[in-house]
Structure 1
Amino acid sequence: MNQKLLVVENDINLQTILKDYFTSYAYDVFLVSKGSEVMEMIETKAIDVVILDVMLDDLDGWSVLRKIKQTASVPVIMLTARSETSDKIFGLELGADDYLTKPFSLKELHLRIDHMLSVRRSNHIAFQILTNTHEVNIDGKKTKLTKQEFEVLKYLYEHPKEVISRERLLEMCWGYLFDGDTRTVDTTIKRIRHKLSHISCIHTVFGVGYYFEVQR
């Protein structure tokens, strides 16, 4: 399967150059010039890497980068004329995985992207839910969960990166007639995290709820 590359750039000529080059190396290349179009493309096209400029037709690239890193795990390489050291530091602090300034070498950009994809593949975690046994299989290691722990993890797993409130987890995993409160959810999450302490998969959004994303 071809790697999917999203180019976020308002220079039409550069869009064409990048698409022609990476298509010749068997990438599927998608082009947008507006920051407001980025998240939909990432979600609907299963993008593997984003090339992002700072100067766009609507939003600035910094805002787009911040949004990507808040809601997705796709790597981002900044490709911009902003060459000041302070800009590079700012972009990397916001979460950019790499930063390349214009003018640039297509070969260098290609090598940087290949490196990011290689690192991402090496960090991949095999995560499997075993419904019949209430177990989780992570890189071949099985961990047994209680029925309630499994129900909570399974529900979050089935809604990846979606922030789920404690109230919704109570309703969906314990049922309408459960006579407990949201602290029950917090306690269950704590037990799951302890049992799966070798990875990070349930994340807290303070004051809102929890979401599922596997990380080492």
Structure 2
Amino acid sequence: MEVVSNLSPHVLALDDDPDIRDLVVEYLSAYDLRVTAVSSGRELAEVMTREAIDAVILDLRLPGEDGLQIARKLRETSSVPILMLTGLAEEADRVMGLELGADDYLTKPFSPRELLARIRALLRRARSQATVADEIAKVRAYRFGAWELNVGLRKLKSAAGQAVDLTNGEFSLLTAFLSAPQRVLTRDQLLELSRLHNAEVYDRSIDVQILRLRRKIEADPAHPEYIKTERGAGYTFSAPVEAMR
């Protein structure tokens, strides 16, 4: 296990190749990042239990270990940004890794400069999400049209007081829309906002879940009043929203 210590953001890298571990440690630490490099999933788990980790670099092709399973376990217990390392021909692994909750990927061989740029981007995104999460956490309920969504109880009610059941994914997507009304949100932005609620929402399921949401809150789902499609851009929650704090 190789460690470079300071007070900068802490990056944890898992790769079985000692040359890559040395490269990651030497290059990233030269740019004010603290780096711990490990060679196995067991070592990674040990570091995660005792250190505050800001980002993880994870090689998906590990001898005797399933990198995808490691990614799955990481995402089940932590929202730490994950950057996958994969081979050029491992498209299926990249797709599966992203669906399991990884945030970005690089293919080997990679440029250390690009690795640094991607890690910095993940760290900036994580800080931005933390700020948004703090604001969302202060909201008790949202009101829009004749509807009220109680965030703490995760309950949606109509003006008549009728409760409407929402799946975890539907609740998180609706909350994502209500936290950013009258703004065009891309699928990536909806995914990021949904993850603030630990939702199992994947890029390929967003359109389906939005269709289901429309059937529950729209008077005419074919001509939505609230969740409108912005062709080639994403979706907009077009109604005014009142946040109750």
> Could you say which TM-score interval applies, normalised by the shorter chain?
0.5 to 0.7
Aligned counterparts of 1:140 and 1:23: Cα–Cα separation in 2: 34
- TM-score, normalization: structure 2? 0.53
2:47 to 18, 41, 44: 41
One-letter identity of the residue aligned with 1:86? A
Contact persistence 1:53–1:80 (CA under 8 A): yes
Aligned counterparts of 1:98 and 1:111: Cα–Cα separation in 2: 12
Q: Go from structure 1 to structure 2 and tell me whether the alpha carbon gap of 1:193 and 1:125 turns closer, same or farther (over 3 Å shift).
A: farther
- Note if 1:91 corresponds to 2:97: yes
Contact persistence 1:36–1:58 (CA under 8 A): no
What are structure 1's unaligned runs of at least 5 residues? 128-137, 145-188, 205-216
Deviation digits for residues 147-169 of structure 1, max 9, x if unmatched?
xxxxxxxxxxxxxxxxxxxxxxx
Contact persistence 2:10–2:33 (CA under 8 A): yes
Q: Go from structure 1 to structure 2 and tell me whether the alpha carbon gap of 1:193 and 1:29 turns closer, same or farther (over 3 Å shift).
A: same
- Note if 1:76 corresponds to 2:72: no
Q: Give 1:75 deviation, angstroms.
A: 0.7
Contact persistence 2:38–2:44 (CA under 8 A): yes
One-letter identity of the residue aligned with 2:50? T
Q: Give 1:99 deviation, angstroms.
A: 1.2
Aligned counterparts of 1:64 and 1:192: Cα–Cα separation in 2: 32
Contact persistence 2:13–2:57 (CA under 8 A): yes
Aligned counterparts of 1:39 and 1:141: Cα–Cα separation in 2: 29
Aligned counterparts of 1:114 and 1:18: Cα–Cα separation in 2: 14
- TM-score, normalization: structure 1? 0.59
One-letter identity of the residue aligned with 1:117? L
Alignment correspondent of 1:20: 26
Aligned counterparts of 1:13 and 1:97: Cα–Cα separation in 2: 24
Q: Give 1:60 deviation, angstroms.
A: 1.6
One-letter identity of the residue aligned with 2:135? D
- Secondary structure at the aligned position of 2:61 is classed as coil
One-letter identity of the residue aligned with 1:3? P
Contact persistence 1:54–1:78 (CA under 8 A): yes
Q: Go from structure 1 to structure 2 and tell me whether the alpha carbon gap of 1:140 and 1:99 turns closer, same or farther (over 3 Å shift).
A: closer
Alignment correspondent of 2:114: 108
Contact persistence 1:6–1:50 (CA under 8 A): yes
Aligned counterparts of 1:140 and 1:96: Cα–Cα separation in 2: 23
Percent of aligned pairs sharing the same letter: 38
One-letter identity of the residue aligned with 2:43? E
Aligned counterparts of 1:6 and 1:98: Cα–Cα separation in 2: 15
Q: Go from structure 1 to structure 2 and tell me whether the alpha carbon gap of 1:33 and 1:139 turns closer, same or farther (over 3 Å shift).
A: same
Q: Give 1:194 deviation, angstroms.
A: 5.5
Q: Go from structure 1 to structure 2 and tell me whether the alpha carbon gap of 1:61 and 1:82 turns closer, same or farther (over 3 Å shift).
A: farther
- Secondary structure at the aligned position of 1:124 is classed as helix
Q: Go from structure 1 to structure 2 and tell me whether the alpha carbon gap of 1:140 and 1:112 turns closer, same or farther (over 3 Å shift).
A: closer
Structural RMSD (CA):
3.2
Q: Go from structure 1 to structure 2 and tell me whether the alpha carbon gap of 1:202 and 1:124 turns closer, same or farther (over 3 Å shift).
A: closer
Q: Give 1:78 deviation, angstroms.
A: 0.5
Aligned counterparts of 2:78 and 2:139: Cα–Cα separation in 1: 27
Contact persistence 1:36–1:59 (CA under 8 A): no
Alignment correspondent of 2:9: 3
Q: Go from structure 1 to structure 2 and tell me whether the alpha carbon gap of 1:114 and 1:143 turns closer, same or farther (over 3 Å shift).
A: closer
Q: Go from structure 1 to structure 2 and tell me whether the alpha carbon gap of 1:118 and 1:90 turns closer, same or farther (over 3 Å shift).
A: same
Contact persistence 2:86–2:94 (CA under 8 A): no
- Runs ≥4 residues deviating over 6 A: 199-204
Q: Give 1:191 deviation, angstroms.
A: 5.5
Aligned counterparts of 1:13 and 1:141: Cα–Cα separation in 2: 43
One-letter identity of the residue aligned with 2:61? M
